Structure 1
Amino acid sequence: MKTVLHKAEDRGYANHGWLQANHSFSFAGYFNKDKIQFGALRVLNDDIIAPKMGFGTHPHDNMEIVTIPLSGVLKHRDSMHQNWQQVLPGEVQVMSAGTGVQHSEINGSDDTHLSLFQIWIMPNKQHVEPRYDQKSFHDEDRQNKLQTLVTSIDENHEGSLKIHQDAIISRIDLDIGKTYEYTLKSDNHGVYVMTVFGQVSIADITLGTRDALGVSNAVGFSIDAMEGSSLLFIEVPMG
């Protein structure tokens, strides 16, 4: 098993006043040659956005973008849909930028901060037709069991959102004292495990809130919950 540990306090950080951003990988003004990507995972940003503020219209292409609101109200508008779309905690949003898309993201609340994860995964197909989707996932469906959020558009997996990459994004909430055995899809896959909150142990490595561990060259591994914990898994091809 090969592991790479990314402690929460070692992430890139930017405070723009209206935006507080933590970058697990090199992004915008943050560059770390040892944190460019993890396999096909290019970006994992942990953002807090002030009320009524956000990102104005900007372009993307040839990237699979997944957004997971944690608290607050996200409002999204893009060149495929001119109306604002509301995305709430419990929902997940995916956008295949493909040949090119313009979009805007703002905090839809007048008085509450918006907290979210934004994930960029490099696609396995270039210049696809842009697409957008979102779906609600229930908390109880990940209590001590894996909840699959996103899978490849080429796979017939019911209930998950789809992207153009052989990737799996999933979550689990573990009660204190629980153990979960995670199995990777193939020898070529690695998984980036982010502790959303809590404390767990993986391969004798302790992870606290927002700590992350990249695991590759492994069939699977055990996760032991040292307290009530929530985990995000981003499994991607490594080569």
Structure 2
Amino acid sequence: MKTVIHRASTRGFADHGWLKANHTFSFANYRNPERMHFGVLRVLNDDYIEGGGGFGTHPHDNMEIITIPLSGTLEHKDSMGNTGIIKKNEIQVMSAGTGIFHSEYNATRDKALQLLQIWLFPNKRQVTPRYDQLQLNPADRKNTFQQVLSPSSEDEGVWIYQNAWFHLIDLDSGKEGKYTLKDNENGVYVFVISGEIEVNGEKLSTRDGMGVWETDELIVQANKNAEVLLMEVPMQLN
């Protein structure tokens, strides 16, 4: 088993006033040659957006883009004609493919929006762009792994063009979950949304991240009540 740990305090940080962004991997003005990606996981941004703030219309291509709101309300518009409101306990995905334009705004003026935006390199390029969002039942992740993303439209959660699976889990203090990889050539990036956990004996706190690979399973144990996102991804770029 191999591991890498990214403490919350070591992430890149940008304060744009309306936006406070933490970057686990190199992004925008944050450049760290040791933090370029974890396998096909290219971006893990932890964004805090003030009321009324947001990203104006901008382009993407050939990237799988996943957004998970943690609090507040996100307003989305794109060049495919999609408009939507995304909130906590929902997940949004876009396959940018041949190219899209979209905007993202905090839909409220008086409350902050917090979200995770995650980019994965796709296993198919130049696909027709697509969009999807899904409401999640938080009860389905109470002390168990809730699958929220997969490579197949026939499986649970949203799907993307990549051999990847995402799971959320809300663990009570003292509880643990065993995660078995879907593909033992993949790795898993564990991100602590809140609380304190141990992964195979390594202690992690809120917003810490840990990559694990060359293993077929891992144990996540909560030292305090914890919300955790597990991202299983291929370790080799296509």
Per the normalisation by structure 1, the TM-score is: 0.97
SS of 1:141's equivalent?
helix
| Amino acid of the structure 1 residue aligned with 2:71 | S
Counterpart among 187, 192, 199 of residue 202 in structure 1: 199
What are the Cα deviations for residues 181-209 of structure 1, in whole angstroms up to 9, with x where unaligned? 11112221001000100001112210000
Residue 124 (1) aligns with residue 86 (2): no
Q: Map 1:102-181 to 2 at 5 A.
A: 102-153=101-152, 156-157=154-155, 159-181=156-178
Distance in 1 (alpha carbons) for counterparts of 2:47 and 2:175:
29
Identify the residue that residue 12 of structure 2 maps to in structure 1: 12
Distance in 1 (alpha carbons) for counterparts of 2:160 and 2:16:
31
Distance in 2 (alpha carbons) for counterparts of 1:16 and 1:234:
28
Structure 1 runs of 4+ aligned residues shifted over 3 Å read none
Can you give the 5+ residue segments of structure 2 that lack an aligned partner in the other structure? none
Identify the residue that residue 47 of structure 2 maps to in structure 1: 47
SS of 1:81's equivalent?
coil
| Amino acid of the structure 1 residue aligned with 2:143 | N
Q: Map 1:49-88 to 2 at 5 A.
A: 49-81=49-81, 84-88=83-87
Tell me the C-alpha RMSD between the 2 structures: 0.9
Distance in 1 (alpha carbons) for counterparts of 2:81 and 2:68:
19
Offset at residue 138 of structure 1 (A) = 1.1
Counterpart among 169, 184, 189 of residue 186 in structure 2: 189
Distance in 2 (alpha carbons) for counterparts of 1:88 and 1:222:
29
SS of 2:43's equivalent?
strand
Distance in 1 (alpha carbons) for counterparts of 2:113 and 2:89:
13
Per the normalisation by structure 2, the TM-score is: 0.97
Identical positions, percent: 50
Identify the residue that residue 34 of structure 1 maps to in structure 2: 34
| Amino acid of the structure 1 residue aligned with 2:62 | N
The number of residues matched between the two structures is 236
Residue 212 (1) aligns with residue 209 (2): yes
Offset at residue 14 of structure 1 (A) = 0.3
Moved more, 204-213 or 179-188: 179-188
Distance in 2 (alpha carbons) for counterparts of 1:149 and 1:186:
17
Offset at residue 156 of structure 1 (A) = 3.0
Distance in 2 (alpha carbons) for counterparts of 1:15 and 1:198:
24
Can you give the 5+ residue segments of structure 1 that lack an aligned partner in the other structure? none
